[in-house]
Amino acid sequence: MKRTKIYVETLGCPKNLVRTQDFYRQLDYSNYEVVYSPEEADMIVVNTCGFIADAVEESLAVALQLKEEYPDKVLVFAGCVPLRFGTELVQRELPEFDYVVPGFNMPSVFSVYQGALQTSVLTYPYAYVSIAEGCNGRCSYCTIPKFWGSLKSRPAAEIVDEINELYEIGIREVILVSQDTGAWGTDLYGKPSLELLLKALQDTQISWIRLMYVNPTFITEKLLLAWKDNGRVLPYFDIPVQSGSDKMLRRMRRGYHRNQILQALKLIDGVFAENTKRTSIMVGFPGETEDDLQATLDLLIQGEFHHVGVFGYCDEEEADSHKLMPKVDPEIINTRKTNAEAVALELHRLWEEKCVGKTYQCLAEASSGSEFIGRIWGQAPEIDGMFLGKGEVEPGEMVEIVVEKTKPGQLIGRKKVQKATSNK
């Protein structure tokens, strides 16, 4: 029997990549085959992002373009957009889509089952693992809780099992993601219990475990000691502060203030002599002044962040912040974003310079002859740059390297003679 060929176009954040990976794992491979271009496919699945208006517009544009280019192929419009706006509305407004699926509930389209992981759909030695869905936070600019609901943590044993399965097929780094990672376990144990998950993760063989989206509220000495004791969890801290202005933090309903951010960073430096810090900031939030922006930029410098993502405020009608005044002019938002990005680039450049002359573990992702590309532990996939090295290395291999020089977004060096034996 001929197998149906499926192509998945994944849009948005790493959490959407997790949902696509879950879909791959559930697919009945006796009836379906994953392909990597829409030309080869019988069915095209668009895993959409509905976080902000720009993401919704991109999702619609990509799906409509795919349907226009491949009108004879079945198109499934799935993910966050139909979850946010409702299946009936999307079907009514966009009848050209063959199926509309809220979230990634693919059994409603075709039969799937919990099957074994398939090596054919994993092309890098890292994978994203979701530890929870939903969020108990009520940030004024965010609509996620309205369509994903409150926090629903996955049990630790289930997460450990998934990581062990990933290790067996060659994955050497897992990136733990959720809407609010530090809140993990609140629904299971009555309070944030991320340290319990970190302890459970000691029962894995994976080389690197990286945590993303840990808000400063949850950074405590107890958590950091569990982080350090694990041995596999990298001293890489992704702390999305959003602003350094107390006025903006209150309007955003972030649940913490500037001094709490600085205290969290101080705790990190006290426990980890060597660490890497990433954050994200939002500029142009309603009511933001130049002084508020400067407070944010000062925080980036004072906090010694190494990697910074900068986002301009998007005025979502469904978000509570839509009612806040005064609005910041879009041109001013763009100017502030440009200025903030300049600071972010300088901080990243300083971090790259500090890496020169040092020896690190590197996870190789691809190789060609005597050259390879990979990442050191201070670089998360896709967002923190790459390491370009000389030496014969196999993809997925963990090697010891020396950083010799830098280019913007790149560390450049060579493989040391002996392979690494430790995690960092």
Instruction: Give the model's pLDDT for residue 120.
Output: 39
Higher pLDDT, 421 or 381: 381
- Judged by phi (left if over 0) then psi (alpha if -120 to 50, else beta), residue 212 lies in beta
The CATH number for 286's domain is 3.80.30.20
Identify whether 210 is part of a domain: yes
Determine if the pTM surpasses 0.75: yes
Residues 6+ apart with CB under 8 A from 143: 50, 51, 84, 316, 318, 319
Question: Is 421 domain-assigned?
Answer: no
pLDDT at 113: 31
Q: Are 3 and 31 in contact (CB under 8 A)?
A: yes
Looking at residue 2, its pLDDT comes to: 76
Pair 82, 134 in one domain: no
The two beta strands, 173-177 and 126-130, are: parallel
The answer to whether residues 335 and 351 touch, using CB atoms and an 8 Å cutoff, is no
Asked whether 384 and 398 are in contact (CB, 8 A), the reply is: no
Which residues form the domain of 103?
4-108
Residues 287 and 151 in one domain: yes
381: tokens are: 């996939």
Q: What is the pLDDT of residues 106-143, one digit of tens each?
A: 665 554 333 334 433 456 799 889 999 999 999 999 98
pLDDT of residue 288: 99
For 60-112, the DSSP string reads HHHHHHHHHH-TTSEEEEEEHHHHHH-HHHHHHH-TT-SEEEEBT-GGGTS--
Number of neighbouring beta carbons within 10 Å of residue 77: 28
Alpha helices in 253-307, H assignment, sequence order: 258-271, 290-302
Residue pLDDT, tens place only, 24-33? 777 777 778 8
153 touches 186 (CB < 8 A): yes
The burial of 252, by beta-carbon neighbours within 10 Å (0-12 exposed, 13-18 middle, 19 or more buried), is given as buried
Query: 122: alpha, beta or left, given left = phi > 0 and alpha = psi -120 to 50?
Result: beta
d(CA 389, CA 178): 32
343 and 366 both lie in a single domain: no
Q: Are 207 and 242 in contact (CB under 8 A)?
A: no
131 and 252 together in one domain: yes
Which CATH number does the domain housing residue 384 bear? 2.40.50.140
**Residues 43, 152 within the same domain:** no
Longest Cα separation, the chain: 66
Q: How many CB atoms lie within 10 A of CB 325?
A: 6
Least confident of 68-72, 101-105, 132-136, 341-345: 101-105
Domain boundary among 306, 326, 355: 355
What total of structural domains would you count in the chain?
3
Q: Are 210 and 85 found together in one domain? A: no
Residue identified by tokens 């499926």 is 6
Classify 402 as helix, strand or coil.
Answer: strand
Percent of the chain with pLDDT over 90: 72
pLDDT tens-digit series, residues 272-292: 999 999 999 999 999 999 999
pLDDT of res. 101: 82
Residues 187 and 256 in one domain: yes
Q: How far is CA 291 from the centre of its chain?
A: 30
Residue 119: per-residue pLDDT: 39
Q: Are residues 165 and 259 in the same domain?
A: yes
370 with 348, same domain: the answer is no
Nearest-angstrom CA–CA distance, 276 and 93: 46
CA terminus-to-terminus distance, the chain: 49
What's 92's domain CATH number? 3.40.50.12160
Pair 288, 391 in one domain: no
Strands 371-376 and 386-390: what pairing? antiparallel
Domain boundary among 70, 86, 108: 108
Query: What is the distance between the alpha carbons of residues 346 and 411, in angstroms, rounded to a whole number?
Result: 15
Rounded Cα–Cα distance for residues 233 and 77 (Å): 36
Asked, for residue 423, whether it belongs to a domain, the answer is no
330, 355, 380: which is the final residue of a domain? 355
Same domain, 389 and 309: no
pLDDT, one tens digit per residue, over 365-417 is 988 889 999 999 999 998 999 999 999 999 999 999 999 999 988 999 999 87
What is residue 315's three-state secondary structure? Answer: coil
| Identity of the amino acid at 152 | K
Average pLDDT over residues 173-192: 97
Residue 365 Cα distances to 14, 38, 211, angstroms: 18, 25, 19
Residues 135 and 248 in one domain: yes
On whether residue 329 sits in a domain, the answer given is yes
In a domain, 52, yes or no: yes
